[in-house]
Every structure is written in structure tokens, then in C-alpha cells.
Amino acid sequence: MATTARLTLDPAFRIGPVDPRLFGSFVEHMGRCVYTGVFEPGHPLADADGFRTDVLELTRELGVTLVRYPGGNFVSNYRWEDGVGPVEDRPARLELAWRSLEGNSFGLNEFMAWAAKAGVEPMMALNLGTRGVAEALELVEYANYPGGTRLSELRRAHGADKPHDVRLWCLGNELDGPWQMGHKTAGEYGRLAAETARALKRFDQGLSLVACGSSNSGMPTFGAWEAEVLEATYEMVDYVSLHAYYDPSDGDVDSFLASGADMEHMIRSIAATADHVGAKLRSDKKIKLSFDEWNVWYQSRFNGESSLEWTEHPRLIEDSYDVTDAVVVGSLLITLLRNADRVGVACQAQLANVIAPIRTEPGGPAWRQTIFHPFALTARHARGEVLRVEPECATIPTAKYGEAPAIWATATHDAATGAVIASLPVIVLYLVAQRWVIEGISRSGLKG
């Protein structure tokens, strides 16, 4: 016997506008994401800059609007100066985050040129692990100041005549994690982030800054970290970051399919924490959230950084995805849209090869993984305003998250075209497995 579910939509019940920055991705110097991923000089399809045109085409098809760079864990020991200037003069370094050899043939200016060709906004991360305020200011001056200073003229001498004008900057990465180079307590990081933010805002008040939140919701300091960091940085930052990866390896399919509910709990917990700090500081400002790392990752198959041998761009966590993984990616995208009033930036990690929607072979083809498709469809069709959707449906018991709704849904309404798009990817599996039927969608007050 089929089970019936019902959705009701009304244009009066709006969550918020669809921010294009919700469809971000992530390029880190990790594994083969950069080298033989987006960048492979000598490949039959490489352009004059060494960028793989097949990957560029797939990036555009995917609908990516923003890309975070250069890390990730990589950034916390990165010297940006190593990746600019004549390639033959760039030093090779030991890359400590992923125990690889970094030749630095791809750096800041190459990334900016690639981002321009891909049609994406750059989101840069600063090293606040092993470096500090002075180095952050130098990078921002090199990247953004038009000319006439030592660093801006150095950029021009390196072939980038116009400033890159990067507007969105991460104040470090996952510095609550003991695996991070330069790991800090919340108090240590909060003070450094505040000092850096203050200096960057003095350089350009219009920069948007992201403070590091917890590395994941399982951290023992989750919530407390955000509260302490935001008390130090509240009036100087615009976002606080969230990261989450979902691992299907334990075979608990019901909990895995409910990953969106866990992501939503995380979003609402940190939004409440930020609002509490704002109330405590008597501030009218609302901090938004940057969910700048999220994806499905078979993390339990990875033996950790210490298991890696020193080598150049190794094959690292190149997970192959199935239909269930694609359903979960769809549910995570729905979650981001359901919380569009608070989540202003989101980046699926990563773009190529490393837990990625796009895979490549050196000298060979590039192709789409299953998780490519829900992202591309959502990025293409989600326009206008996100509507609140309250499904009437049964619940599914899960071991990790308790009772979860059988349908995880959202909808968008584009007033300009009249288009109403309802997103319900979790149904795909249950239509087959449990014969779910959507009896109807009531669209009160909606046209088109």
C-alpha cells in the first residue's frame, strides 16, 4: 500500500532570496584537485595557460558560481609568495597538511586567471596558522591594490596588471583542529582573527570576512568555540564558517539519507549561537553563515595524513559515488536553500578528483560523477525566493538522528518568470524502496 505525502507552498511564506554564492565549490592543493585536475600543461585539451578546457566546460555546466582557494588544511602552512612570479624561480616545498611535494607552478595569479575563464567568483583563504596579520595584509595588498606600491607593482610585474579585487576572505581554516598547522584555542584564534580583521577593514571596509567556526559538529568545543570567537570578532566579520562531511561507509543507509536533517541542526545551532553573542553585545548586526566545506566523503576509508608518503600530487581520497550518494548531495543542497536566510556562502568540497563531482585522468578524459547532477540541476533551476515548505509525511527512524522526515523538501519561486521549482531528491530512493507517492502539491497564490 502506498504512503501519501503532501506539500503546501505559498508566496507569502518566504525564507529568503537564493544567493548565487550558495553554489560554490572548492579548489585546494590536495591530491589531484589542482595538478592533473584543473591544471595540466601538456594535456591534449589544455589551453595556453595549462588549464584543462574539458574541466572548465564541466565546471560551467555544473553551475559553480564561487570557488574557495587554496585550502583547506593546505593554507595553514602556505606561503603565498611561493606561487607568484616566474615559474622557474618558484621554490618546491614540503606540504605538511597532506604530506606532498608542492612545486608551486600553480599559484594565486594562475588561480585568478582560471577563475575568470570559469566565470566564478574567487574566495581566498588566509594563512592564520603559521602566519599572521602582516602576511595577510601583504597578500591582500598584492591581490587588490591597483598600483604604485611595492606589492601592487610586483603583481603587475608578474603579469597581472589589474587588481584581482577579491571581496571574500577566510580568516584561516579549521584552527580548532589539532591536525591543523598552527592549531589554536578559541581565545588565541579569536584575538588573531580580530586583529587581522581590523587591519583588513582598515585597508578596505568593503571586504567580506569569514571567521573560522568548528571543523565539524562532533568537536568537543562545538558551539563554545563559535561563541568565544564571535565575542572577539563580532563587529568585524561578516560570516562564521561551518564544515560537515557525511560518511556512508558504516552501511546505515537510513541515517545517511537523513544527513540533511543533521546539517540543518548544525546550521540552526550556530545561527542561534551567533544571535546569542549579538544580543550579549547589544549589536543590531546579524552574522551570516559560510558553509564552505560540505560533501559526502567515505572518510573511514582514509587512513590519515600520517599514512601518506611524500610525493607530488598523489591520488588521494578519489571516492567513486553511487546514486544514494547523489540523493544525499541533493538533500544537502536542499538544506542550504531551506536556510537561505542565514547561509550566505556554501562550497562543495572539492571540484576535481578529491571527493569531487568531476573526475579526470592525467592525459585522458574528464567525466561527471553521480553527485554532479543534483548540484547542476539545483544551480540551474533554483532562482528567486526560497519558499517555506512544510511536508505532511511519515517519519523514518534513524540510529544517528532519531525520527527524520521521509521527505526533505524545499521550493523556489522566481517572480520574474513565474517558475516554481520544488526539490525533493530523497523521494527518488523511497519511490523504489517503499512505494512513496506524492499525492499533490498545493501552490496557494502561485502562478506559472
Q: Which of 234, 229, 343, 213 is nearest to 282 (CA)?
A: 234
Q: Is 293 a catalytic residue?
A: yes
Partners of residue 420 on adjacent β-strands: 413
How far apart (Å, rounded) are the C-alpha atoms in residues 253 and 246? 11
Angle 46-52-54 (CA atoms, 0-180°, nearest 5)?
Answer: 115
| The length of the chain, given as a count of residues | 448
> Which amino acid, 366?
A
Cβ burial of 435 (10 Å; 0-12, 13-18, 19+) is exposed
> Which amino acid, 33?
C
Catalytic residue among 28, 81, 95, 174: 174
Q: Is 419 helix (H, G, I), strand (E, B) or coil?
A: strand
Q: At which residue does the C-alpha cell 536556510 appear? A: 339
Catalytic residue among 293, 305, 361, 403: 293
Q: Is 174 a catalytic residue?
A: yes
Cβ burial of 159 (10 Å; 0-12, 13-18, 19+) is exposed
How far apart (Å, rounded) are the C-alpha atoms in residues 159 and 279? 48
> Which cell goes with 430?
523511497
Provide the annotated active-site residues. 174, 293
